[in-house]
Amino acid sequence: MKTEGLSINLATVRQQWNLREAVEGCARHGIMAIDPWRDQVAAYGLAESARVIKDHGMRVTGYCRGGMFPAADAAGRAAAIDDNKRAIDEAATVGAECLVFVVGGLPPGSRDLNAARGMVAEGFAAILPYARSVNMPLAIEPLHPMYAADRACVNTLGQALDLCDLLGDGVGVAIDTYHVWWDPDLARQIARAGAAKQIYAHHICDWLVPTKDMLLDRGMMGDGIIDFRAFRRMIEDAGFHGPQEVEIFSAQDWWKRPGDEVLQTCVERFNQVC
């Protein structure tokens, strides 16, 4: 079965494997692209992680994740900016094609979403010169509106693209089917993103009915209600032909299965429904 055009976000096997095991697992299944998480890289060691990834000839379609800009005070926001610069360095070290951002939600005690959104824009503006200086593209991932309070106050593709336009070169979007499939404005915004060359990543994950947990009950492609082929056509028609990156958080299902079974299923479903 085809594995070209398939990438595995390593969160998909985070409970089964450490970074080296995950890279080896992907290689064993013929999958030659990954997106590791910061905590996975930190646990295995940054230099060692970079070496393992390079030794296996892995393409790194993204590095997860920067963001979490809003904070209750200026010191907190400055700390987030510093941390994001470190994330940029790490992304460069592992050879990532972009740093993916979950921008953050409301600061503790705040009910002011506009203020949080302002902090996000300021945070990006503060790190962008550094990102440009090391040629690391920044990919804003709009998250599903159910995460607006606690994870990401950028919640539609259109909103993310407005932010890209505000910030300028070096900022684009990571489009995850799970987060944006519901958007009535989706087709138009994907076309807009493509025209502006702002699509940096294409994540895939299915929406289960019912969804039993708002964070950790995401579905394998084909098990939910997303039409992945229709989605891919929109992305490709917009001019993006990069890998589809599987990112599934699934505490009660896929994280409990052997990693090899998860990857085998990813390959099968990638061929069958994506």
Residues 6+ apart with CB under 8 A from 89: 134
Least distance (Å) from its own copies to the CB of residue 59?
Answer: 30
Least distance (Å) from its own copies to the CB of residue 134?
Answer: 30
Least distance (Å) from its own copies to the CB of residue 254?
Answer: 20
Q: Does 57 bind its own copies (CB under 8 A)?
A: no
Kindly identify the residues of this chain, within the stretch 63-92, that bind its own copies according to CB under 8 A. none
The torsion angles phi and psi of 205, rounded to 5 degrees, stand at -175, 140
Question: Is there a contact between 101 and 141 (Cβ–Cβ < 8 Å)?
Answer: yes
Nearer to its own copies, 20 or 117 (CB): 117
Q: What percent of the residues of the chain are helix, what percent strand, and what percent coil, each to the nearest 5?
A: 45, 15, 35
Q: Which stretch binds its own copies (CB under 8 A): 69-77, 91-99, 110-118, 261-269?
A: 110-118
Nearer to its own copies, 42 or 215 (CB): 215
Least distance (Å) from its own copies to the CB of residue 27?
Answer: 32
Degrees (nearest 5) of the Cα angle 182, 4, 91?
75
C-alpha–C-alpha distance, residues 203 and 264, integer Å: 18
Least distance (Å) from its own copies to the CB of residue 203?
Answer: 17
Kindly identify the residues of this chain, within the stretch 114-173, that bind its own copies according to CB under 8 A. 117, 144-146, 148-150, 153, 155-156, 158-159
Kindly identify the residues of this chain, within the stretch 187-226, that bind its own copies according to CB under 8 A. 207, 209-211, 214, 224-226
Nearer to its own copies, 86 or 212 (CB): 212
Least distance (Å) from its own copies to the CB of residue 205?
Answer: 14
C-alpha–C-alpha distance, residues 86 and 92, integer Å: 10
Q: Does 4 bind its own copies (CB under 8 A)?
A: no
> Angle of helix 186-195 relative to helix 157-167, nearest 10 degrees?
20
C-alpha–C-alpha distance, residues 149 and 246, integer Å: 25
Nearer to its own copies, 12 or 155 (CB): 155
Q: Which stretch binds its own copies (CB under 8 A): 23-31, 92-100, 178-186, 246-254?
A: 178-186
Burial class (CB in 10 A: 0-12, 13-18, 19+), 90: buried
Q: Which stretch binds its own copies (CB under 8 A): 16-24, 74-82, 177-185, 246-254?
A: 177-185
Closest CA to 130 of 65, 83, 175, 60: 83
Q: Does 232 bind its own copies (CB under 8 A)?
A: no
173 three-state secondary structure: strand
C-alpha–C-alpha distance, residues 129 and 131, integer Å: 5
Which positions touch its own copies (CB under 8 A)?
106, 110-113, 117, 144-146, 148-150, 153, 155-156, 158-159, 181-184, 207, 209-211, 214, 224-227, 230
